[in-house]
């Protein structure tokens, strides 16, 4: 079965084509700047040159049509016929409290997604446009929704309820939902493999640190708390999102700066975080360069991010309890930000967490799962490259085949100790050559 996965952001479409029978990525890419004067496409097919192109894509409909054209391109494409695609998996950011697992998309399901659009106004409309465009282009195949929020539906009410008027929860669905669900699912299952434990016996704190960032407390294999809230704004410091603030700031700035609620909301999401502190950067690589040049705003931004991560790790270690098995870092910054990792985990030996600085400095590759804790650390520390696409792909295949179950009752292919991620392994030898000693810290499944 050939599966297409689509991840439609507010101004982008990321996609992948996966050959399920051979467990191999045939092609992938991204269309960026959707809705602007010109959009950019980067497309890669196995064994072929990369395609880079520009075209106007006023909406996600045109972007997805362009994706389909690229997949079929005689020179750059990876498919001979679009009918080779037998199922499509769609990332949906917000499913409210209705969906506790991935689901086959129907008209009724889309209607439910539209009901919760106000809870994710930047994400769900784009997700839905992508679904509708793909269903129009591929009307005779299964379309499945993989929801960010579904993973966190195991949280107890003590974690997901806010101390607000109860009518807000009953009438307006105000509660903690959490996000990055596919990433947490993948990395938690992989951590269990590396620890040699059943997934439902594994206790973790996972830090998904990218432009968007969140932490998740996992006890006995399920989410029991997470840093993002009703929307993806709460919690850790992010590229342009504030994370935790005093909510009174909103009314204060509306009064003092004569800002509308919409302007304050936009500032918290688009002008805050790393960008707000530095005044010009969201990319942590730019921040690292600024730190090396002793730029005070970059030093402050990095220190605030480290401090916020450290606070959440400490809080979630307490929530998970004394049987904490591992801390996991994932996503772009989590995988490459060695300074942030070592800063966040320094002086945590009293919690049984001891990082090895030399191992940490080596673990800067997207292609290898590594262990960066000291040999005598009670709690392991892993860097695990996330793979949300394989979660989307397998959920889509299982839904289409009628074999799908909620993750607590389902075993994924990547839970096999002998699982090989072919897309990842393809880049591994080059990275090993560049980083002598990396082979000594690559995490292997426990016996």
Each residue of 165-193: b (16+ CB within 10 Å) or e?
eeeebeeebbbbbbbbbbbbbbbbbbbbb
Give the angle subtended at the CA of 391 by the CAs of 388 and 395, to the nearest 5°.
145
Query: Was 108 annotated as part of a binding site?
Result: no
Contacting residues for 333 by C-beta, under 8 A, at least 6 apart: 209, 210, 213, 284, 340
- State yes or no: 388 annotated in a binding site: yes
Whether the predicted pLDDT of 70 surpasses 50: yes
- pLDDT of residue 367 exceeding 70, the answer is no
Determine the distance from the C-alpha atom of residue 353 to the mean position of all C-alpha atoms in its chain, rounded to a whole number.
Answer: 24
Would you say 209 is a known binding-site residue? yes
pLDDT score of 152 more than 70: yes
Q: What is the pLDDT of residue 431?
A: 52
Is 285 marked within a binding site? yes
Mean pLDDT confidence for 22-44:
90
Contact 193, 417 (CB under 8 A): yes
DSSP annotation string for 330-345: EHHHHHH-HHHHHHHH
7 is in an annotated binding site: yes
- What gap in Å lies between CA 20 and CA 30, rounded to an integer? 21
Task: With H, G, I as helix, E, B as strand and everything else as coil, classify residue 152.
Answer: helix
Evaluated on CA atoms 430, 431, 436, 437, the torsion sign reads negative
Whether 148 sits among the annotated catalytic residues: the reply is: yes
Structural contact between residues 199 and 169, judged by C-beta atoms closer than 8 angstroms = no
Least confident of 140-154, 250-264, 297-311, 427-441: 427-441
**Average confidence score pLDDT of the chain:** 91
Q: Is the pLDDT of residue 157 over 80?
A: yes
pLDDT at 432: 53
- For 258-278, what is the mean pLDDT? 95
Question: Which of 19, 148, 225, 356 is labelled catalytic?
Answer: 148
* Per-residue confidence (pLDDT) for residue 119, from 0 to 100: 83
Give the residue-averaged pLDDT of 172-200: 96
Residue carrying the six token digits 């075209």: 55
Distance, CA of 128 to CA of 388 (rounded, Å): 19
**Mean pLDDT of the region 42-49:** 92
Give the integer Cα–Cα distance in Å for 9 and 5: 13
- Ranges of CATH 3.30.420.40 domains, the chain: 2-147, 197-384+421-440
**pLDDT at site 428:** 47
Mean pLDDT, residues 277-286 taken together: 91
pLDDT at residue 429 in the model: 44
pLDDT at residue 283 in the model: 86
3-state DSSP percent of the chain in helix, strand and coil, to 5: 45, 20, 40
The string of pLDDT tens digits covering residues 309-318 is 999 999 999 9
In whole angstroms, give the CA distance from residue 265 to residue 283: 22
Report CA Rg, the chain.
21
Q: Which residue has the tokens 């289409």?
A: 400
Is 212 annotated in a binding site? The answer is yes
* Alpha carbon distance 176, 409 (integer Å): 24
Closest CA to 326 of 159, 207, 447, 154: 207
The gap between the terminal CA atoms of the chain, to the nearest Å, is 33
Percent of the chain with pLDDT over 90: 75
- Of the listed ranges 38-42, 94-98, 336-340, 396-400, the one predicted with least confidence: 94-98
CATH architecture of 197-384+421-440: 2-Layer Sandwich (3.30)
**Residue 211 marked in a binding site:** yes
Q: Is 337 annotated as a binding residue?
A: no
CA neighbours closer than 13 Å in the CB half-sphere of residue 51: 27
Average pLDDT over residues 56-76: 92
- Which is more confidently placed, 431 or 355? 355
Return all residues near 102 (Cβ < 8 A) that are at least 6 apart: 144, 145, 146, 147, 150, 395, 396, 399, 404
Residue 223 or 386, more confident: 223
| 288-335 tens-digit pLDDT | 999 999 999 999 999 999 999 999 999 999 999 999 999 999 998 999
Name the nearest CA neighbour of 76 among 23, 7, 39, 27. Answer: 27
How far apart are the C-alpha atoms of 241 and 261, rounded to whole Å?
A: 16
Highest mean pLDDT among 17-21, 209-213, 219-223: 219-223
**C-alpha–C-alpha distance, residues 397 and 2, integer Å:** 9
Q: How is residue 228 written in tokens?
A: 């993002």
Query: Would the pLDDT of 419 be above 80?
Result: yes
Grouping H, G, I as helix, E, B as strand and the rest as coil, residue 73 is: coil
**pTM for the full model?**
0.92
pLDDT at 424: 55
Q: On the CB side of 150, how many CA atoms lie within 13 Å of its CA?
A: 22
Q: What is the pLDDT of residue 434?
A: 58
Q: Residue 118's pLDDT band (boundaries 50, 70, 90)?
A: confident
Q: What topology does CATH give the domain 2-147?
A: Nucleotidyltransferase; domain 5 (3.30.420)
Give burial (CB, 10 Å; 0-12/13-18/19+) of 261: exposed
Cβ neighbours for 225, distance < 8 A, ≥ 6 positions apart: 155, 159, 216, 217, 316, 319
Helices 296-320/338-345 angle, 10° precision = 50
Supply the pLDDT for residue 245.
Answer: 97
> What pLDDT, on a 0 to 100 scale, did the predictor assign at position 422?
56
């Amino acid at each position: 079965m050939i599966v297409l996965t689509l991840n439609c952001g507010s101004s982008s479409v990321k996609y992948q084509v996966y050959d399920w029978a051979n467990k191999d990525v045939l092609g992938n890419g991204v269309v960026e700047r959707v809705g602007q004067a010109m959009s950019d496409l980067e497309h890669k097919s196995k064994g072929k040159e990369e395609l880079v192109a520009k075209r106007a894509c006023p909406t996600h409909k045109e972007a997805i049509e362009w994706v389909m054209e690229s997949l079929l391109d005689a020179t750059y494409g990876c498919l001979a016929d679009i009918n080779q695609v037998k199922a499509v998996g769609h990332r949906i950011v917000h499913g409210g409290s209705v969906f506790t697992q991935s689901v086959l998309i129907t008209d009724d399901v889309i209607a439910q997604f539209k009901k919760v659009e106000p809870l994710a106004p930047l994400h769900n409309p784009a997700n839905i446009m992508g679904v509708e465009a793909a269903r129009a282009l591929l009307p005779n195949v299964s379309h499945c929704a993989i929801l960010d929020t579904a993973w966190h539906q195991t949280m107890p009410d003590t974690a997901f309820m806010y101390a607000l008027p109860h009518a807000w929860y009953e009438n307006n669905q105000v509660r903690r939902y959490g996000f990055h669900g596919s990433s947490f699912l993948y990395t938690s299952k992989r951590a269990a493999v590396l620890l040699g434990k059943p997934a439902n016996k594994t206790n973790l704190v996972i830090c998904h640190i990218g432009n968007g960032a969140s932490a998740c407390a996992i006890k006995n294999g399920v989410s029991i708390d997470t840093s993002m809230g009703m929307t993806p704004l709460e919690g850790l410091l992010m590229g342009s999102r504030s994370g935790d603030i005093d909510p009174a700031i909103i009314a204060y700035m509306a009064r003092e700066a004569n800002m509308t609620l919409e302007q304050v909301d936009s500032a918290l999401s688009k002008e805050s975080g790393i960008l707000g502190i530095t005044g010009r950067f969201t990319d942590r690589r730019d921040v690292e360069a600024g730190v090396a040049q002793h730029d005070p705003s970059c030093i402050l931004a990095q220190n605030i991010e480290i401090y916020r991560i450290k606070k959440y790790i400490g809080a979630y270690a307490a929530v998970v309890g004394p049987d904490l098995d591992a801390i996991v870092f994932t996503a772009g910054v989590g995988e490459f930000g060695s300074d942030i990792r070592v800063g966040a985990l320094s002086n945590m030996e009293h919690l049984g967490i001891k990082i090895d600085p030399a191992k940490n400095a080596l673990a800067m590759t997207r292609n290898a799962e590594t262990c960066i804790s000291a040999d005598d650390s009670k709690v392991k520390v892993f860097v695990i490259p996330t793979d949300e696409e394989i979660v989307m792909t397998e959920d889509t295949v299982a839904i289409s085949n009628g074999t799908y179950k909620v993750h607590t009752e389902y075993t994924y292919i990547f839970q096999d100790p002998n699982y090989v991620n072919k897309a990842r392994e393809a880049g591994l030898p080059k990275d090993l050559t560049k980083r002598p000693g990396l082979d000594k810290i690559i995490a292997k499944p426990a016996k």
